[in-house]
Structure 1
Amino acid sequence: MPVSTCVFDAYGTLFDVTAAARDAAADPAFPELETTWTQLAAQWRLKQLEYTWLRALSNRHTDFWQVTQDGLDWALEAAGLADRPALRQRLLDLYWQLAAYPEVRAVLDTLKEAGLNTAILSNGSPDMLNGAVHSAGIGPLLDDVLSVETVGIFKPAPQVYDLVVTRFGVAPDEVLFVSSNGWDAGCAADFGFTTAWVNRAGQPVDKLPGQPDFILDDLTRIPEIALSR
Structure 2
Amino acid sequence: MARPKVILFDVNETLLDLTPVKESVGKALGGRPELAPLWFTTLLQYSLVATVAGKYLDFGEIGSACLRMLAKNHGVELSEDDARGAVSPMRSLPPHPDVIPALKRLRDAKHRLVTLTNSSKAAVADQMKHAGLTDFFESSLSVEDVGKYKPHADVYRWAAGRVGADVSECLLVAAHGWDVAGAAWAGMKTAFVARPGQQVFPPGPGPGITIPSLAELEGELDRRS
Residue in 2 that maps onto 1:166 = 161
1:50-129 correspondence to structure 2 within 5 Å: 50-83=45-78, 88-129=83-124
Pair 1:205–1:93, CA change in 2 (3 A)? closer
Q: Does the CA contact (< 8 Å) of 2:65 and 2:83 recur in 1? A: no
Cα distance in 2 for partners of 1:96, 1:173 equals 31
Which residue, 38, 45, 49 being the options, matches 2:40?
Answer: 45
| Aligned-partner residue type, residue 91 of structure 2 | W
TM-score, normalised to structure 2's length?
0.88
1:10 corresponds to 2:11: yes
The residue matched to 2:21 in structure 1 has which SS?
helix
Q: Does the CA contact (< 8 Å) of 1:183 and 1:208 recur in 2? A: no
TM-score, normalised to structure 1's length?
0.87
| Aligned-partner residue type, residue 125 of structure 1 | S
Cα distance in 2 for partners of 1:154, 1:31 equals 26
Task: Point out 4+ residue stretches in structure 1 off by more than 4 angstroms.
Answer: 84-87
Pair 1:17–1:71, CA change in 2 (3 A)? farther
Deviations 1:16-70 (A, max 9, x none): 2232132677x9xx7942xx21x23111101110001111111122121211112
Cα distance in 2 for partners of 1:171, 1:90 equals 40
Q: Does the CA contact (< 8 Å) of 1:47 and 1:74 recur in 2? A: no
Aligned length: 223
The residue matched to 1:109 in structure 2 has which SS?
helix
Cα distance in 1 for partners of 2:39, 2:30 equals 16
Deviations 1:58-105 (A, max 9, x none): 112212121111222223223433346775344222222112111111
Which residue, 128, 143, 149 being the options, matches 1:148?
Answer: 143
Residue in 2 that maps onto 1:132 = 127
The residue matched to 2:12 in structure 1 has which SS?
coil
The Cα RMSD (Å) is: 2.3
Cα distance in 2 for partners of 1:192, 1:153 equals 18
Percent of paired sites with the same residue:
25
Pair 1:195–1:68, CA change in 2 (3 A)? same
Pair 1:196–1:24, CA change in 2 (3 A)? same
1:214 corresponds to 2:209: yes
* Runs of 5+ consecutive residues of structure 1 not aligned to the other structure: none
Deviations 1:135-191 (A, max 9, x none): 101101111100111111111222210233212222333222111110110121122
Pair 1:171–1:84, CA change in 2 (3 A)? closer
Q: Offset of 1:200 from its aligned partner?
A: 1.8
Deviates more, 1:217-226 or 1:125-134: 217-226
Q: Does the CA contact (< 8 Å) of 2:17 and 2:93 recur in 1? A: yes
Q: Does the CA contact (< 8 Å) of 1:97 and 1:135 recur in 2? A: yes
Q: Does the CA contact (< 8 Å) of 1:175 and 1:194 recur in 2? A: yes
